[in-house]
């Protein structure tokens, strides 16, 4: 019987396209969040909509396939901590983009894969090399070039983008820790539990009823776009080795530049491009060095909204 499986080259191309698609979806989601933030909605309310919509979409997608047993976790405390880190990362990111351009926050968020290196050593006991630590320090220089502390171009909201990157890096490390213990679909659902349900305690104090159909559509789209983005990343990893598709995660930076320019009239200045290039180069080196050691670099290091 003739095999119907796609040739490896076609699967790799599909993986690359899936990752590029995710890199374009997440900036659109951030663009909607920026519209809502600039319209006066709390970043907590925006983040809740992102998390709750994600849960609803994923339950509708996964439960018919796996049943309610997928909600059972063997490590509930780690899952809740993961979820809290992801919610904190999204909330601080959505707050930051209310005040600074999307491309700038996206560039700063690229430091998350770099922060995974020391955090994995601290939390998981993973050893690293002097070269990787040097790449981490180099990437941090790129962040300083973008933020420019001590100058008149510095904006305090940049610190929230840094906090977002740190929260996401911790989320990644905890995701590594839970891998192999809980199924991926279980971890995907639990990643938004704190934001989707825990925020019900805070939501009455920050809630503002959407004032237009446009705002309602933006709120509803956040979770759907975010969930689709995560699905595309999963499909990318299914079709191609992580070390091949990992560099294409930086399509998210290009997407952020495009959304920022066409919808908000923002375009990165020269130093922002330089800083972003330094961070990308540092991240690619760390991914390459991990590939040499383990065969694949973890594509989970990409910033997914």
How many CA atoms lie within 13 Å of 275's alpha carbon, on the beta-carbon side? 23
What is the C-alpha to C-alpha distance for residues 90 and 165, in angstroms, rounded to an integer? 9
- Per the DSSP assignment, residues forming a β-bridge with 182 are 179
- Classified as helix, coil or strand, 67 is coil
pLDDT score for 110: 87
pLDDT at position 249, please? 80
pTM listed for this prediction: 0.85
| Residue 182, SS3 per DSSP | strand
Look up residue 123 and give its DSSP letter.
Answer: H
- Reference 147, options 136, 158, 138; nearest CA is 158
Contact yes or no for 15/249 (Cβ under 8 A): no
DSSP alpha helices (H): ranges in the chain?
8-38, 43-66, 76-97, 102-109, 112-123, 130-147, 158-178, 184-190, 193-197, 203-206, 213-239, 242-245, 251-264, 270-294
Which residue stretches of 179-212 are H helix? 184-190, 193-197, 203-206
| Buried b / exposed e along 63-74 (16+ C-beta atoms within 10 A) | eeeeeeebeebe
CA distance linking residue 178 with residue 73, whole number of Å = 10
Cα 170 to its chain centre, rounded Å, is 12
Residue of 195, 299, 305 whose CA lies nearest to 256: 305
Q: What is the pLDDT of residue 297?
A: 41
Cβ pair 24, 250 in contact under 8 A: no
Q: Which pLDDT score is estimated for 7?
A: 63
Q: Three-state DSSP class for 179? A: strand
| pLDDT at res. 112 | 86
Whole-number pLDDT of residue 294: 52
Cα separation of 15 and 3, whole Å? Answer: 20
Contact 227, 53 (CB under 8 A): yes
Q: Average pLDDT of each block of 10 consecutive residues along the chain (305 residues)?
A: 59 87 92 96 96 92 87 92 94 95 92 85 81 88 90 88 94 86 87 93 95 95 90 80 76 92 92 93 81 49 54
Predicted pLDDT of residue 172: 85
Token pair belonging to 111? 């430091």
């Amino acid at each position: 019987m003739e095999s119907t499986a796609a040739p490896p080259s076609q699967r790799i191309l599909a993986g690359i396209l899936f990752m590029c698609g995710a890199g374009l979806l997440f900036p659109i989601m951030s663009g909607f969040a920026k519209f809502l933030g600039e319209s006066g909605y709390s970043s907590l309310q925006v983040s809740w909509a992102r998390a709750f919509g994600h849960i609803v979409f994923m339950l509708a997608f996964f439960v018919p396939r796996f049943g309610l047993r997928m909600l059972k976790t063997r490590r509930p405390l780690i899952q809740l901590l993961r979820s809290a880190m992801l919610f904190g990362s999204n909330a601080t990111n959505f707050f930051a983009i209310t005040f600074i351009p999307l491309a700038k926050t996206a560039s700063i968020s690229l430091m998350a894969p770099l922060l995974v290196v020391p955090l994995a050593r601290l939390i998981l006991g993973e050893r690293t090399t002097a070269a990787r630590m040097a790449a981490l320090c180099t990437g941090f220089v790129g962040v300083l070039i973008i933020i420019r502390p001590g100058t008149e171009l510095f904006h305090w909201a940049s610190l929230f983008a840094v906090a977002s990157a740190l929260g996401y890096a911790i989320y990644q490390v905890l995701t590594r820790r839970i891998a192999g213990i809980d199924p991926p679909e279980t971890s995907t659902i639990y990643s938004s539990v704190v934001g989707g349900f825990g925020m019900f305690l805070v939501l009455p104090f920050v809630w503002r009823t959407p004032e237009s159909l446009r705002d309602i559509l933006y709120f509803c789209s956040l979770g759907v776009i975010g969930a689709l983005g995560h699905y595309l990343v999963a499909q990318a990893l299914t079709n191609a080795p992580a070390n091949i598709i990992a560099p294409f995660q930086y399509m998210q930076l290009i997407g952020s530049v495009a959304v920022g320019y066409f919808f908000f009239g923002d375009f990165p200045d020269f130093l922002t491009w330089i800083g972003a290039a330094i961070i990308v180069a540092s991240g690619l080196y760390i991914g390459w060095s991990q590939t040499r050691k383990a065969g694949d670099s973890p594509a989970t290091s990409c910033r997914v909204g």
